[in-house]
A and B are shown apart, each in its own frame.
Chain A
Amino acid sequence: MAITTGEVGLSSVPEEAGGKGLKVGALGLVSSLVIGVASTAPAYSLAATLGFVAAYVGIQAPAVMLLAFVPMLFIAAAYYYLNRADPDCGTTFTWVTRAIGPKTGWLAGWGILVTDLVVMPNLASVAGVYSFSLFGAHGIASNSSGFWVTFVGVIWIIVMTAICYIGIELSARTQVALLSAEIIILFVFAIVALAKVYGGGVAHSVRPSIEWLNPFRIHPIGALSAGMLLAVFIYWGWDTAVTVNEEAKDARRTPGRAALMSTLVLLLIYVVVTFAAQSFHGVGFLTNANNEGDILNALGTAVFGSPWNKLLLICVLTSASSSTQTTILPAARSSLSMAVHKAFPKKFADIHPKYLSPSFSTLMFGAISVIWYVALDLISPGDVLANSILALGFGIAFYYGLTGFACVFYYRRHIFKSFKNFIFIGLAPFLGAAILTVLFVIAIFYYSDPANSQSGTQAWFPFIHFNFTLLHQHFYVKKGLGPPLVLGVGFLLIGIPLMFLWMARNRDFFRRDREVAESVDSPAPPLTPGVIPVTD
């Protein structure tokens, strides 16, 4: 039975076509740009973090927005090069497994899963709060842990999970339209706000100052670190722009351009909107507990008035929906990936016969998200938004950092072969990973004090207390730990016993050997032959 293969262009059965053939589903510049920016979800990211960033670093928020981009840019270089060498086998999980080893790789995969899980309550609450604000039910919206917000949030998770399960995708054109609307509305908001500030007569307004971009005015270092971890979150997802670009139509130019353009778009949005937001009513308005949870609603109403403020609400909701999607999809695909490599129960590799989605992985993630959201609402009423968003930075820093180190380690034989190699696969990924590691460690100490966690006086594990001095800094934990620390680091730590539990059940995955890149440009062999069977 001969299988006739297609010509180049329609890659048919790959072995016979000699490699993967041409990628027909090539992405143009606009699509790559849209995927990068939409995955980052600027309106939602701002809605979720603006108030908290201001609470930590005050008027220097724009500086933090700029500064946080540096490690992201460096890590993106790692993603780009890891992906370029082997676009068909690379995900964060597999890359770390190859470069550093299976145990670390397993924990990196776990890091992705729990980071995605930690953000879900935040997405769901934001969706709930802004939905009620949209329909004018401000009383309900103001209680972000109330029954109705949680109810809508749960429905939100269920609907978004169903969308990912069934595989509903927006057409490229619809995505471009939605994203353009989001960006335009954010800029119009910033321009109107700034115009009103300069026009005068706005209560507590502050004229923008270039000094707001000066990161050296942020004290103490713990506040800077907390602000940075929050701001790292607003760029979370941007790396997708770099990795999907492997399939770009003009592979030499499109990837670089799309990454550069999405960078500029995001940087501009975040800096301009932050400038406008804090100059309008001052920082006090942003950090006011009544506004913190739905800051873009509060500001939108003040800047636009009714009914134009609704535009901003709709744009937060569409942004949150794409962000929820770009949380569920990679989570489900990561657990699928782990299952395919026998690092997770086989069931997680199931594909739905009709919808072709990772069926079990998607449903499990949706179900656990709902349980976790409701649980978090019950154990920290009123602080779901703060706790989830502050905890998130730990997970992102953890697995992005590992990816950066993996890149350096994997290419260690090639770093010094050329100046370009040294910068892009050596220095940049290493610095990115190092910065994230430092932020991670400082934030651990900073958040260990519940007073620094924005959720006020709530302390978890009150029996824990210690103090010590390190590098002339005194660290005290008087009574208990801040919830963001417990959530952010706790979830990562749970991975360690779970990994050993899985090892006891199935050692196949952990028998893998470490690998090192043979070359920077040629693809790596799919998987170590004989060491790990890919098929189930």
Chain B
Amino acid sequence: MAGDIVLGYDGSDGSKAALAVAVSVARAFDAPLSIVFGYEPNPMGGETADYKAKLEKIGEEMVAGALAAAKKLDSGVQTEVLVVPMRPVESLLEAALERSARVIVVGGTGERPIVGAILGSVPHKLLHRSDVPVLVVPAGDE
């Protein structure tokens, strides 16, 4: 049962630091690692088709880069990548649920300070809403 390590990855410095930690946590527990990129265009205003396709492509490239980085750190860890068409927090919660996650690993705040201040950052929201432990990794901690 006790499942995956779920990592939220958006290419930011914080998420890169989180990647390194997530790999070592996965190694320590001998658990599979799921690297998740969540995106969802604001449904207000419509006209999302090409925009969504473009975001999906960016997400795929991003997680492919993350996968390569994870393999480089520790090729023994079983790693999968997920591109989820939901907002970041929702996609992590959904992935954690589907993978019966042991822990969710995310980078610390500081990447989107304005948004974070107004509407709460991803780790902040996760801490409130997640049913599984959340590990927040400060940026520059590689």
Contacts and interface: CB of A to CB of B under 8 A. Distances in A.
A12 B11 CA distance: 17
B119 to A, nearest CB: 6
Given A25-B86, A239-B46, A356-B39, A13 B81 contact: yes
A89 B49 contact: yes
Contact of B51 (A237, A337, A354): A337
Interface string A1-38: 10111110111111000000001110100010001001
Contacts of B78: 4
Given A25-B40, A35-B43, A329-B42, A337 B81 contact: no
B44 A329 contact: yes
A333 B47 CA distance: 6
Interface string B1-25: 0000000001110000000000000
Interface residues of B, number: 48
Interface string A79-111: 000000001111110100000000000000000
A11 B81 CA distance: 10
Contacts of B46: 39, 91, 239-240, 243-244, 330
Nearest to B55: A356
A11 B85 contact: yes
Nearest to A340: B50
Interface stretch (A131-139, A149-157, A162-170, A454-462): A162-170
Contact of A358 (B51, B82, B85): B51
B68 A1 contact: yes
A171 B114 CA distance: 16
Interface string B49-60: 111111110101
Nearest to A534: B53
Contacts, number: 141
A310 B77 CA distance: 60
A35 B53 CA distance: 21
Interface size class of chain A, counting residues whose CB lies under 8 Å from the partner chain: 35 or more
A341 interface: yes
B118 interface: yes
A94 B53 CA distance: 13
12 contacts: A12-B80, A24-B91, A24-B94, A25-B85, A25-B87, A31-B43, A168-B118, A326-B45, A327-B45, A329-B45, A330-B47, A340-B50
Interface of B: 10-12, 39-56, 58, 60, 64, 67-68, 71, 78-87, 90-91, 94-95, 98, 111-112, 114-115, 118-119
Interface of A: 1, 3-7, 9-14, 23-25, 27, 31, 35, 38-39, 87-92, 94, 112, 166-169, 171, 237, 239-240, 243-244, 322, 325-330, 333-334, 336-337, 340-341, 349, 351, 353-356, 358, 534
